[in-house]
Chain A
Amino acid sequence: MGRAPLVIIATAAGLVGVLSFHAGAPNSILATTRPTASSRKQPQSGSAASASSSGATSSILLITRSAVGAKEQYGYGVLAVRVTVRGSRIESITLAGLQTAEQYSQQLAAQVIPMLRSEVLSTQSAQINGISGASYTSQAYALSVQSALDRLHVA
């Protein structure tokens, strides 16, 4: 990219000053819990239900932590996300940093990011599981989410 970034947006999570560029390939795992067909018919009695069989690790599921993922280049700039997990379950993903090369892509990113978030959270909100058709933004988003989870040592 030859163009200089013009805009930096900070959203709900705020622009975090400790962003660092990603050094290596992501090598870890993110984990969320999807209710199974049978469990969904039952009343929800708590988010730790799926871990009831692993008593030794149940306490860790109650801890809520968050981390900012690596800044990732995409077609129109750079983005980074903040991921909050409760145990190994993703609670939220917010945009921690976004640098776009032009006004147009800033507007575009405003539409795009909520959709990508729904993809990552889809196992909890039953939206979509994936996107078909090449997309630079979605790839950068996936990488930043992954690196945030790596930093949280999820899975």
Chain B
Amino acid sequence: MSAGVSQGRMIGHAERVMGTVVSFAMYPGELGDAAVRSALAQACRVLHEADETFSTWKPQSAMSRLRRGEAAVDELPTEVATVLDLCERAKETSGGWFDPWAMPGGVDPTGLVKGWAAERALAELVEAGVAAAMVNAGGDLAVYDRPAADEPWRIGIRHPWRVDALACIIEAHAAVATSGAYERGEHLIDPGSGRPLTRAAAATVTGPSLAIADALATALVVAGAREIGLVTSLAGYDAYVIGRDGSELASDGIRFAPA
């Protein structure tokens, strides 16, 4: 038994996938219960498929086979080429600070795939016709529209030292990705040395694409706040960086919200 879906009602869901938890918040608008369930199921399918294709932990994933040299890109699902193209673009955009090809063990798109998959999951909900939605893939999130006309999505940014405390709250309009030295991050590799290194405590990047924001957040944690220009030079992207000394730096487009 359930109440009918009405405008203004929020529907949430948490899905365990990609080694993390992906949480959904949806405002169905005119969509009925069945349509919402179907869109949510399809969004979750997208996430699980991305996991099956790109997990470097699963020996039989397409990505694992590619890394072992057992298959070429053109023998694998087309998503592999799509993601590798995005990785290439993110590498260029980040001035080489995000470099999936510099990872120990072979090409590893992990720093971008979670955001890419979350974005695709959100697109399923948008195509189905939800009024507003958020997909949060373990801290990298994409939003569509807003919870209410006068109210943007309010996103807390995890504090880099006080685990699970917030450093601040920002308004989100598309994608928000945060990377931090606190991650048990094999992917926080300094491309110059091939070794783990972080020059900032945490970096948040906002912008139109979550895949790119995800990669740029990783790049800024490795590169440090002085490279913030890499992000701000891109149309539509902004950054908020917390230095290892606790200093904060935010570009003009970051909108802090009252706590």
Contacts and interface: CB of A to CB of B under 8 A. Distances in A.
Main secondary structure of the interface of B (DSSP, over half): strand
A34 B148 contact: yes
A111 B162 CA distance: 10
Interface string B107-150: 00000000000000000000000000010101111010001111
Contact of B180 (A40, A116, A134): A134
User: What band does the interface of chain B fall in when counting residues whose beta carbon is under 8 Å from A?
Assistant: 35 or more
Interface residues of A, number: 54
A53 B10 CA distance: 17
Contact of A130 (B153, B162, B177, B179): B153
B164 interface: yes
Interface stretch (B14-22, B49-57, B66-74, B245-253): B14-22
A143 B164 contact: no
Contacts of B81: none
A83 to B, nearest CB: 11
Contacts of A51: 3-4, 6
Interface of A: 25-26, 28-37, 39-40, 50-51, 53-54, 57-58, 60-61, 75, 87-88, 108, 111-112, 115-116, 119-120, 122-123, 126-135, 137-139, 142-143, 145-146, 153-155
7 contacts: A30-B11, A50-B8, A108-B164, A115-B165, A123-B25, A130-B172, A135-B158
Interface of B: 1-4, 6-16, 20-21, 23, 25, 27, 33, 36-37, 40, 134, 136, 138-141, 143, 147-151, 153-158, 160, 162-166, 169, 172, 176-180, 182-183, 202, 204
